[in-house]
Chains A and B, each alone.
Chain A
Amino acid sequence: MKWLVNGRLFDGELLREGLCDLVIDKGRVAKIAPAGRFVPPEGATRIDLDDRILAPGFIDLHAHLRDPGQEWREDIISGSRAAAAGGFATVVAMPNTDPPVDRSSLVRYVLERGQSAGAARVLPAGSVTKGRRGQELAEMWFMANEGAAIFTDDGLPVSTAHLLRTALLYADDLGMAIMEHPEELSLTKDAQVNDGPCAARSGLKGAPKAAELIAVERGIALAKDTSAHLHLTHLSAEESLEAVRRAKEDGINITCDVTPHHLTLDESLVEKSGYSAAYKVNPPLRSGRDLEALWEGLADGTVDAIATDHAPYHLDEKDLPFQEAASGIASLECAVAVVFDAWFKRGKPFGIERLLQLFTAGPASVLRKSDLGRIEEGSVADITVLDIGRERRVEAKRWESKARITPWEGSVLCGWPVMTMREGKVIWVDGDSGLHAERD
């Protein structure tokens, strides 16, 4: 039993006035009350949050945990611990593994490995198609029964409009969404950067924003046609956001997420860094204008979630010249701070409640999990404690993740998670934050 005192409670929607105390028992929130109003039950462990934000456990909709099959990059244990250390109580593991998670036995494998990690909850995403080959639907009902949280062929778009339409209908029957990686592949062959000034000045093949927009519009048309729930992941272009905004106004069942790197980094960094592979990612870093459009999307509700697209690689695959280096940014352990730091530096362009929703209730609604992403009496005791004044340097060599290269290496960021709980268990504490708590 735990007794969290003096927290500023964000319940998934609103930040409550004043400080709160919270009793956690048997993995659930047993009681919420204004600070100091009640005496805790005998034997409860007291954790003084000292005015820090007490939020529902953060949820990352999109992380590559590389397991099974690519454990030199990451595995479910290291990925689950990295998620916890990044303030996430739940992480959705992408199925583009080797073999791909395209059947119930592999869904079970991911879940069981995740449970054995004793850190963040690992929810498996299942492939939309068998082997991610884009030819026939994977056994989504079997996978859903085993615990798959969402379906995606991420890394690739669902191959054809016909398959995407079928998948949307089939998943909708199961009460689940299809997560689409929007990319028109014929426009992005060999692409390395955004098709903008950097591509012009370096000759690197550029991925035009139209490649994303075409796939976004395809998805919207099919979501409209089927009335099923389509989730568009890692949107990076102003035009994509505009399309989603219009679709939402039209009542189409669309959700979307954006990444911390597209919110804070732009294409100019590729040149400025001397073509450092730390900035190589797909979709590529876009222009400053696109970056601004993503923040507008956060502010006005067009964007439902911030998801990391954590893409870890071994140093030997990433510490290479730009063109031969692997594409992807690892961020699980600094993503929350990256976003909060940017939100501060932009002069808090919208309320903190909105920002917190993007890590909690927002992603929970994409997963259609009403038991996650909120705190109320009786809810699952997944908790992220956030210290918005805490400053810390990003040092990948100290990460739980196996990744060692990140664009934010060495940056001092402000606004860090300091404790993560899953089902009432403390799965991570920042020992240097001044918060006195023990890992369970």
Chain B
Amino acid sequence: MSWKRKHLIDVDDWEREDFELLLEQTSNMDSILDRSIKKAPALRGKIVVNIFYEPSTRTRTSFEIAGKLLSADVINWTASGSSAAKGESLRDTIWTLEAMGADAVVIRHGEVGVPYYLVEKLKKASVINGGDGTHAHPTQALLDLYTAWRELGSLDGKKVAIVGDILHSRVARSDIYAFKAVGAEVYLSGPSTLMPTDINSLNATYEPNIAEAIEGADIIYMLRIQRERQDAGLFPSLDEYHRRYGLTDRLIGKAKKGALVMHPGPINRGVEIASSVADGPQSFILKQVRAGVAVRMALLYLMLGGVKE
């Protein structure tokens, strides 16, 4: 089996086999992370450029570590303090970076669809979406999938409840697709004001009552609530939000025993998740972070190195 995808913009065009191959490959990379010398020569001589137009700690660092562990040269380019701050257009920035020899660009941007634009404009380099506005965050979905798969094995028939601000969440959009593609059922919960109007087109089941949404769930996935959503009038207060939708010990007590609690980070303690749950035995939040490195190693390897028969 070989890997034919040059870019990673979204997982919405991935087949089940693609996910499965990626999971296997991630598993191999994961074992590298346990070695005392965590370095492999696979991507020696390759240049990966992280282009980050939005602040990010874990995604950027994770790509950087992943690239470095595979011996690629990883360059970080951030919008502040760069030519973008002088008004350079995105197009000119990426052409410049490509001219310098970038083999892959990882792009994080606050606007929907920017990675597609890069694919259209770049001649040679692979494009990896590190999150585009509210649209997609495919590497997050893949690391979430890996975390769950590693713990639960096959995800066929498993129930995933994603709770919070679906409307503005690129993580939710990519996760819904990824989990469904490997056979899981996906439920969404949160106030209607934080759901898209045409929620049916997300192909998940909406259940406004969180207790019902997480009932029997194998995975409870909490999304970050941003303060500006309150300012926009989408809910009355963080306190009320926490009381209605925050994941607390009380709710966990009613959920399936051993359900995985996940969150893409950074977490808002006391808003979408109580500290006791975030730090509790069912929390997989830090395991997700580690999986993020392994998944990104696997991706860079597949995209830049390819799989030999």
* Segment of A56-64, A202-210, A232-240, A258-266 in the binding face: A202-210
Q: Which residues of B contact A324 (CB under 8 A)?
A: 111
B309 interfacial contact with A, CB 8 Å: no
Provided the pairs A202-B135, A275-B117 are in contact, do residues A322 and B197 lie with their beta carbons within 8 angstroms?
A: no
CB–CB B198/A203 < 8 A = no
CB–CB B111/A323 < 8 A = yes
Provided the pairs A274-B116, A275-B116, A275-B117 are in contact, do residues A200 and B111 lie with their beta carbons within 8 angstroms?
A: no
CB–CB B202/A202 < 8 A = no
Cα-based distance from A319 to B117 in the complex (angstroms): 9
B183 interfacial contact with A, CB 8 Å: no
CB–CB A203/B173 < 8 A = yes
CB–CB A203/B133 < 8 A = yes
CB–CB A203/B111 < 8 A = no
A197 interfacial contact with B, CB 8 Å: yes
CB–CB B198/A196 < 8 A = yes
Q: Which A residue sits closest to B201, measured CB to CB?
A: A197
Interface residues of B in 164-206 (CB under 8 A from A): 167-170, 173, 196-202
Q: Which residues of B contact A203 (CB under 8 A)?
A: 112, 133-135, 167-170, 173, 196
A36 interfacial contact with B, CB 8 Å: no
B47 interfacial contact with A, CB 8 Å: no
Count residues of A near B (Cβ-Cβ below 8 Å): 22
CB–CB A321/B197 < 8 A = no
Cα-based distance from A208 to B196 in the complex (angstroms): 11
Interface residues of A in 160-206 (CB under 8 A from B): 192, 195-197, 199-204, 206
Q: Which residues of B contact A276 (CB under 8 A)?
A: 116
Pick from B89, B111, B168, B169: contact of A322, CB under 8 Å: B111
Cα-based distance from A197 to B200 in the complex (angstroms): 8
B114 interfacial contact with A, CB 8 Å: yes
Q: Which residues of B contact A197 (CB under 8 A)?
A: 198, 201
B90 interfacial contact with A, CB 8 Å: yes
Interface residues of B in 104-160 (CB under 8 A from A): 109, 111-114, 116-117, 119-120, 133-135
Pick from A200, A275, A319, A320: contact of B196, CB under 8 Å: A200
Q: Which residues of A contact B117 (CB under 8 A)?
A: 274-275, 320-322
Q: Which residues of B contact A201 (CB under 8 A)?
A: 135, 173, 196, 201-202
Cα-based distance from A206 to B201 in the complex (angstroms): 14
Count residues of B near A (Cβ-Cβ below 8 Å): 28
Binary per-residue interface labels of chain B (70-104) against chain A in the complex, 1 for a CB within 8 Å, 0 otherwise? 00000000000000000001110000000000000
Binary per-residue interface labels of chain B (275-288) against chain A in the complex, 1 for a CB within 8 Å, 0 otherwise? 00000000000000
Cα-based distance from A322 to B173 in the complex (angstroms): 19
CB–CB B197/A199 < 8 A = yes
Q: Which A residue sits closest to B120, measured CB to CB?
A: A274
Q: Which A residue sits closest to B135, measured CB to CB?
A: A202
CB–CB A200/B197 < 8 A = yes
Pick from A200, A316, A321: contact of B201, CB under 8 Å: A200
Q: Which B residue sits closest to A203, measured CB to CB?
A: B134
Cα-based distance from A320 to B111 in the complex (angstroms): 11
Provided the pairs A203-B134, A274-B119 are in contact, do residues A323 and B201 lie with their beta carbons within 8 angstroms?
A: no
Q: Which residues of B contact A275 (CB under 8 A)?
A: 112-113, 116-117
Provided the pairs A321-B114, A323-B113 are in contact, do residues A199 and B196 lie with their beta carbons within 8 angstroms?
A: yes
Q: Which A residue sits closest to B199, measured CB to CB?
A: A200
Q: Which residues of B contact A202 (CB under 8 A)?
A: 112-113, 133-135, 173
CB–CB B197/A196 < 8 A = yes
Q: Which A residue sits closest to B203, measured CB to CB?
A: A201
Cα-based distance from A111 to B224 in the complex (angstroms): 56
Q: Which residues of A contact B114 (CB under 8 A)?
A: 321
Q: Which A residue sits closest to B202, measured CB to CB?
A: A200
> Nearest-CB distance from B8 to chain A (Å)?
14
Cα-based distance from A200 to B113 in the complex (angstroms): 14
Q: Which residues of A contact B119 (CB under 8 A)?
A: 274
Cα-based distance from A204 to B135 in the complex (angstroms): 8
Q: Which A residue sits closest to B196, measured CB to CB?
A: A200
Q: Which residues of A contact B202 (CB under 8 A)?
A: 200-201
CB–CB A200/B112 < 8 A = no
Cα-based distance from A112 to B120 in the complex (angstroms): 43
CB–CB A322/B112 < 8 A = yes
Cα-based distance from A197 to B91 in the complex (angstroms): 29
Pick from A195, A206, A316, A321: contact of B111, CB under 8 Å: A321
Q: Which B residue sits closest to A204, measured CB to CB?
A: B112
Q: Which residues of A contact B120 (CB under 8 A)?
A: 274
> Nearest-CB distance from A323 to chain B (Å)?
4
> Nearest-CB distance from A284 to chain B (Å)?
13
Q: Which residues of B contact A200 (CB under 8 A)?
A: 196-202
Q: Which A residue sits closest to B114, measured CB to CB?
A: A321
CB–CB A204/B201 < 8 A = no
Q: Which residues of A contact B112 (CB under 8 A)?
A: 192, 202-204, 275, 322-323
Cα-based distance from A199 to B114 in the complex (angstroms): 16
> Nearest-CB distance from A404 to chain B (Å)?
15
Q: Which of B116, B119, B198 has most chain A Cβ within 10 Å?
A: B198
Cα-based distance from A197 to B198 in the complex (angstroms): 6
Q: Which residues of A contact B169 (CB under 8 A)?
A: 203
CB–CB B133/A195 < 8 A = no
Provided the pairs A202-B134, A275-B112 are in contact, do residues A208 and B170 lie with their beta carbons within 8 angstroms?
A: no
CB–CB B90/A321 < 8 A = yes
> Nearest-CB distance from B247 to chain A (Å)?
23
Q: Which residues of B contact A320 (CB under 8 A)?
A: 89-91, 117
CB–CB B198/A195 < 8 A = yes
> Nearest-CB distance from B222 to chain A (Å)?
18
Q: Which of A195, A199, A203, A320 has most chain B Cβ within 10 Å?
A: A203
Cα-based distance from A200 to B172 in the complex (angstroms): 11
> Nearest-CB distance from A188 to chain B (Å)?
13
Cα-based distance from A316 to B88 in the complex (angstroms): 12
Cα-based distance from A319 to B120 in the complex (angstroms): 11
> Nearest-CB distance from A202 to chain B (Å)?
5
Q: Which B residue sits closest to A274, measured CB to CB?
A: B116
Q: Which residues of B contact A322 (CB under 8 A)?
A: 111-113, 117
Cα-based distance from A201 to B169 in the complex (angstroms): 10
Q: Which residues of A contact B135 (CB under 8 A)?
A: 201-204
Cα-based distance from A16 to B198 in the complex (angstroms): 49
> Nearest-CB distance from B120 to chain A (Å)?
7
Q: Which B residue sits closest to A273, measured CB to CB?
A: B116
Q: Which of B111, B112, B120, B134 has most chain A Cβ within 10 Å?
A: B112
What are 7 pairs between A and B in contact, CB < 8 Å? Answer: A196-B201, A197-B201, A201-B201, A203-B135, A206-B196, A320-B117, A321-B111
Q: Which 4 A-B pairs have the closest CB atoms?
A: A203-B134, A275-B113, A274-B116, A200-B196
Which A residues form the contact surface with B (CB < 8 A)? 192, 195-197, 199-204, 206, 208, 274-276, 316, 319-324
Apart from A200-B201, A203-B135: 7 A-B pairs, beta carbons within 8 A: A200-B197, A200-B202, A203-B134, A206-B197, A275-B112, A275-B116, A320-B117
